[in-house]
Amino acid sequence: MTSLCPSATFSLPVRIYYEDTDAGGVVYYANYLRFCERARSEWLRALGFGQQQLLAAGGPLFVVRSVRADYLAPARLDDSLTVVSTIHNLKNVSVLFLQRIFREDRLLFTAEVKIVSVSLASGRPVPWPDAVRAQFHDQLLPYPSR
């Protein structure tokens, strides 16, 4: 179940399965990035922008330009997590997502993920389509204090 809240925050629940963990039953570090990718993709879909639909209409690819991640506490087998995503910066060809993963009220992981709009044909950065840019702009939040 996903939710797009009026507060411009998108939440995606994630259950931890055996396949997500290492030999000790702790979530493998790269899987946090997979969970964040799923949340961004589901948010775009909830906004009406499935990535395949955009590509079929000649729209851009969404390419990860950079990631800054902090692993604060481990998630484990069978945990129920929530990936919370917000947008904090929008430029002509890029958008900055802040993504946080919680187990109940405990913050386990944070990431700043910069996504760039790239032409499928040229591989070069291109401006966001107007409709996408407008939706991103409507979702912008100030960056939270640390």
Render pLDDT for 86-113 as a digit per residue (tens, 0 to 9).
Answer: 999 999 999 999 999 999 999 999 999 9
* CA atoms of 16 and 101, how far apart (whole Å): 12
Q: pLDDT tens, 120-139?
A: 999 999 999 898 898 888 88
Options 20, 22, 105, 130, the catalytic residue:
22
Q: Domains (ranges, CATH) in the chain?
A: 3-139 (3.10.129.10)
Specify whether 105 is catalytic. no
* CA atoms of 105 and 92, how far apart (whole Å): 35
Is residue 110 within 8 Å of 98, Cβ to Cβ? yes
pTM of the predicted model, to two decimals? 0.88
Q: pLDDT tens, 6-64?
A: 458 899 999 999 999 999 999 999 999 999 999 999 998 988 888 888 888 888 999 99
